[in-house]
Structure 1
Amino acid sequence: MSSSPLLSRKGRDQQRYDNQRRLVAGCIPYKLNREDDTGSDDLLDRVEVLMITSPGRHDLIFPKGGWEADETAGEAACREALEEAGVRGILNDTVLGVWEFRSKSTQDTCSLEGACRGYMFALEVTEELECYPEKDCHERKWVHVAEAYKCCRYDWMREALNSFKNLLTGKPVPPVPELSESSSFWIVKPNAADHAIALC
């Protein structure tokens, strides 16, 4: 009995939007090393986070992508982690935060086109796959939290790391608006321009 291959979801037929902003979900995948070679007692010195390369660029990002109509934000975050980084794990259902940003292709425009609202979570990795749907598009790199800050290209990524650190150390994570999983979001059928590669 053979298992079916993992496939990435394609297109935006089921994409969620809210006030013309594309809704995105992602996570900070992490693992806790059993031993710390620095001899430190600080938990964060033993934590590594997984970052991935961005297609066509050299910077590192956290796995994230479109939140679709048939899934919760957490399910979308787990799916993106599997598709882009080839990892599975235990998702903490505390939302690290909600950030608004623009897709890379629309950074310099003033319209709402390309605007995204991203929900980020923490994912404790329990399985790292050798083969995964977007392996040819993304390379993986495990880094210590301090190094991850240096790799972050955008402020919202550093803010997500701050919330992640708070979550791990038992400090309060800033509250976020209630996550509605249903009808307050509307779905838009893609037009020709929407078939471009998703850059959020």
Structure 2
Amino acid sequence: MTILDSIVSEVRLMFRRPERMQFAALCYRFRKKGDVPEMLLITSRDTGRWVIPKGWPMEGKASHEVAAREAWEEAGVKGEASADTIGSFTYEKGMNKGLKIPCRVHVFPVVVSEMAKRFPEKGSRTLEWVTFTEAAGRVAEPGLRRLILDFQTQLLATAQPPVEAARSAAR
């Protein structure tokens, strides 16, 4: 098979395939000294761009469980994943030989309760806690940027950070 035949074959496959699906974790926490929420960004292993933990469906696991599992494997994060998605975004997943396939990523919030010192992908990514605004400025995908900012608005309007909850309980 010539190189041209190979390219034509891959292009045909690309157009025949439906949009692929992935599940992602928007990991967040409230700092102990303050009410400002922050979220976790990680770098992708291939390009080093800022992303959130995400992965492919896993047999026998619900979507939000997959998101939580990816957060553990990629960032060492443990917490409670909501079963409700906050939305989705699309991006082009780079595959072998330069092929790109469209993916729809369903995003689940994960409130972080613990970070492990050792986890499967430790050392292959950079992790950074940042404000939601900073995170939105770092990610490349416009749809993810919109989800981050919308979730921040929703979180600030409905959630009570642990410090404030403790103050309210003491009153």
TM bucket (normalised to shorter chain) is 0.7 to 0.9
For residue 130 of structure 2, what is the aligned residue in structure 1? 143
1:94–1:169: structure 2 CA closer, same or farther, 3 Å change rule? farther
CA contact (8 A) 1:49 1:145 kept: yes
> TM-score scaled by structure 2?
0.74
Q: Matches of residues 21-170 of structure 1 in structure 2 within 5 Å?
A: 21-36=19-34, 43=35, 46-105=36-95, 114-170=101-157
Structure 2 residue matching 1:34: 3-state secondary structure: coil
1:149–1:98: structure 2 CA closer, same or farther, 3 Å change rule? closer
CA contact (8 A) 2:40 2:127 kept: yes
Aligned-partner residue type, residue 87 of structure 1? V
Larger RCO, structure (CA 8 Å, separation 6 or more)? 1
Aligned-partner residue type, residue 29 of structure 1? C
CA contact (8 A) 1:26 1:118 kept: yes
Q: Structure 1 vs Structure 2: percent identity of aligned residues?
A: 26
Q: Give the CA RMSD over aligned residues.
A: 2.1
Structure 2 residue matching 1:29: 3-state secondary structure: strand
CA contact (8 A) 1:84 1:133 kept: yes
Aligned-partner residue type, residue 70 of structure 2? E
Structure 2 CA distance for aligned equivalents of residues 159 and 94 of structure 1: 17
Deviations 1:149-196 (A, max 9, x none): 11111102102202321331347xxxxxxxxxxxxxxxxxxxxxxxxx
CA contact (8 A) 2:136 2:149 kept: no
Looking at secondary structure, tell me which structure has more helix per residue: 2
Larger radius of gyration, structure 1 or 2? 2
Once the two structures are TM-superposed, the CA of residue 136 in structure 1 deviates from its matched residue by 2.7
> TM-score scaled by structure 1?
0.64
Aligned-partner residue type, residue 116 of structure 1? C
For residue 7 of structure 1, what is the aligned residue in structure 2? none
Structure 2 CA distance for aligned equivalents of residues 122 and 156 of structure 1: 16
Q: Which runs of 5 or more structure 2 residues have no equivalent in the other structure? A: 1-16, 159-171
Deviations 1:63-119 (A, max 9, x none): 00101221111011001000101101011222110223220349x97xxx6121211
Aligned-partner residue type, residue 131 of structure 1? R
1:101–1:59: structure 2 CA closer, same or farther, 3 Å change rule? closer
Aligned length: 141
Q: Which runs of 5 or more structure 1 residues have no equivalent in the other structure? A: 1-18, 37-42, 172-200
CA contact (8 A) 1:33 1:47 kept: yes
